[in-house]
Structure formats: C-alpha cells, structure tokens
Amino acid sequence: MANFNRVIQLSSAPYFFFASGHDDRHEDFVARCLEILEHDSSVVLCYPAARWREPDGHLGEIMSGQLDTRHLRSQAARFRAVLWGLPSYNYPIYGMMRTDALKKASPIRATVGPDTVLLHELALLGAFARVPEPLLYMRRLADFGSWDPYLAKALGPGAENSSAWYLYGREVYEELRVVAKHANFRDKPTLALSVILCMVTKYRWVLQGLRRRPKGPQPRNEMGKSS
C-alpha cells in the first residue's frame, strides 16, 4: 500500500492509471480512455472492458461488468450504482483516472478490498465511464482466489493470522469512513445504511471466505496478484 500511495503522491500529469507488471493493455487503451476524459469533465474514471489472460498466455473470456454512471446526476445515485454494481473482480481499478480526483481521495488503506474502497470513494467525486471494447488483459495467476497470499500483500506479513471478523469489520469501517468524508450531509445516513446492507449481502462472501481459511501454516506462492 505504501508503494501505491507514493506513486500517487509523486504523480503530476492530469491523468493516472495503475499498470501491474503481470497484466497488459491493448495499444488503444490510453487513447480511448483519454478521449472520454478530455471531452467529459464529469468523468473521474474511464476503464475499458477486460479479458482474462490464462496461465498459458491465451486470452480467455471477457470479464463481467458493465458499470457506467455518466447518466446519473446525483452523488448518492452514483455511489449506490458503484457500491452495488462493481464486478466481483475489480478490474475498473486499472482504468484511467483524473489525478486531481485521485488525490482528493484518502490514501489507499491497508484493508481487505482497498481497491473497492477507493472506487467507492471516487464514485462520490464524479462519474465512471466504460469503453465497451476489451482493451485490458488481466492475467489469472496460479494462486488466484487464495486468501493468505492476498492478505499478506494487501495488509503486510502476519495479516493472514488476523481474525476473520476483525478483517471484515475493518473493511466495513473504511467504507463508512468514505461516506462520512465525502457524502452530502443529508445523504450520509441513507448511504451509510446502503454500505451496511451491501456488506452483509453482496460482500458476505468476503467474511465467508476469511472464515474458511485453513488453520495453521500454509505454503505460499509469492507470484500471486494483489488487487
């Protein structure tokens, strides 16, 4: 997380995107996202559709999700759309963002789902736009879906020993903090309730997965993806 935050802090260009070393992008990725951002000042994040790149290098299926909030004019409507509509694998985090909006958001926190929390925060600052062509290729690595390698990378060594309830509660807290920081005063109570409902329904799999982790030391593959 410190590396993510340092890169954001050092950035000076008007637009920004994270480029993970094991994924790749079509040659039109930058141009297509830039075109939308340059012509619509309400958009804070533009991302393309994405495809899996399988371990053997071949392109796989197109990833689910068609979230676009440009038609929604209220802050609360945008937030709810992103809260409930983000795809289960959060590839929009690798889209192109306005740097000034990204710097208005809080530093990326050491929590489960830090990328999800960040996008929920950006939804309170502006609209999301989707390019329909799959211009981003996300590599599916060997430890995809394994909790302990993910926790060690997202929260640091030893995080895999934390209790499931603590990790889940920390994520809920970070989501509520976003609402408290950016939401309009009149919308804060209803959006906070939306967060709680979403966490115990859509994101209940997070708690379930954390609780089902094997007990005791597990072999770790250090080549896995962090969000």
Report all structural domains of the chain as residue ranges with CATH numbers, in order of start: 15-139 (3.90.550.10), 147-211 (no CATH)
* Percent of the chain whose pLDDT exceeds 70: 94
Q: How far apart are the first and last CA of the chain?
A: 10
Contact 128, 69 (CB under 8 A): yes
Instruction: Kindly report which listed range (35-39, 117-121, 138-142, 214-218) carries the lowest average pLDDT score.
Output: 214-218
For residue 223, what pLDDT is reported? 34
Name the average pLDDT for the chain: 90
Confirm if 180 and 106 have CB atoms less than 8 A apart: no
Checking phi first, is residue 113 left (phi over 0); if not, alpha (psi -120 to 50) or beta?
Answer: left
Sign of the dihedral defined by the CA atoms of residues 96, 101, 102, 105, in that order = negative
Burial 151-190 (b: 16+ CB within 10 A, else e): bbbbbeeebbeeebeebbebbbebbbebbeebbeeebbee
Mean pLDDT of 41-54: 96
Alpha helices in 127-163 (DSSP H): 147-155
* pTM across the whole model: 0.90
Place 215 in a pLDDT band, splitting at 50, 70 and 90: low
Residue 220 has pLDDT above 80, yes or no: no
